[in-house]
């Protein structure tokens, strides 16, 4: 596999998950600034989803800076996904949201059978 292809692919399956984990913890930190009780409500879902945020920062920073372009493109795609979900929620489009979530659930199940 050539280097450009590798960088593009690992940006999606390795670097993006790390940044999502970092964003989750940072967002929850903002909520905690308003109400510390949030930390008492965290459970296994938060633990599992935020695990990557505890990765070595120096190593991850080096990876992100080295693969800056592919990571940026992947973050942009992810932002589009979040915006689409936000629009479905704002529109109270329960059926559209369900369809989107079901499609993703099926893909996820197919990956880790």
pLDDT of res. 75: 98
Please count the other Cβ atoms lying within 10 Å of the Cβ belonging to residue 7.
19
Confidence band (pLDDT; 50, 70, 90) for 113? confident
Per-residue pLDDT reduced to its tens digit, 5-57: 999 999 999 999 999 999 999 999 999 999 999 999 999 999 999 999 999 99
Q: Which tokens go with 25?
A: 């913890």
Calpha distance 111→41 (Å, rounded): 30
Confidence band (pLDDT; 50, 70, 90) for 86? very high
Q: Which tokens go with 58?
A: 């120096």
User: What CATH number does residue 92 fall under?
Assistant: 1.10.3660.10
- Mean pLDDT within 89-101: 98
Please count the other Cβ atoms lying within 10 Å of the Cβ belonging to residue 74.
21
pTM to 2 decimal places: 0.92
**Complete DSSP assignment for 76-110:** HHHHHHHHHHHHHHHTT-HHHHHHHHHHHHHHHHH
Please state the domain count of the chain. 1
Confidence band (pLDDT; 50, 70, 90) for 96? very high
- Domain housing 95: 3-111
Calpha distance 16→7 (Å, rounded): 12
pLDDT of res. 99: 98
Three-state DSSP at 112 gives: coil
> Contact, 78 vs 66, CB < 8 A?
no
């Amino acid at each position: 596999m050539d280097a450009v292809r590798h960088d593009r692919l690992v940006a999606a399956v390795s670097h993006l998950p790390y940044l999502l984990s970092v964003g989750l913890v940072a967002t929850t930190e903002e909520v905690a600034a308003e109400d510390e009780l949030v930390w008492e409500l965290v459970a296994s879902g938060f633990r599992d989803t935020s695990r990557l945020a505890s990765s070595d920062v120096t190593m991850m920073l080096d990876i992100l800076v080295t693969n800056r372009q592919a990571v940026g493109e992947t973050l942009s795609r992810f932002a589009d996904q979040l915006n689409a979900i936000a629009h479905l929620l704002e529109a109270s489009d329960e059926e559209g949201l369900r369809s989107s979530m079901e499609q993703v659930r099926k893909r996820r199940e197919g990956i880790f059978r």
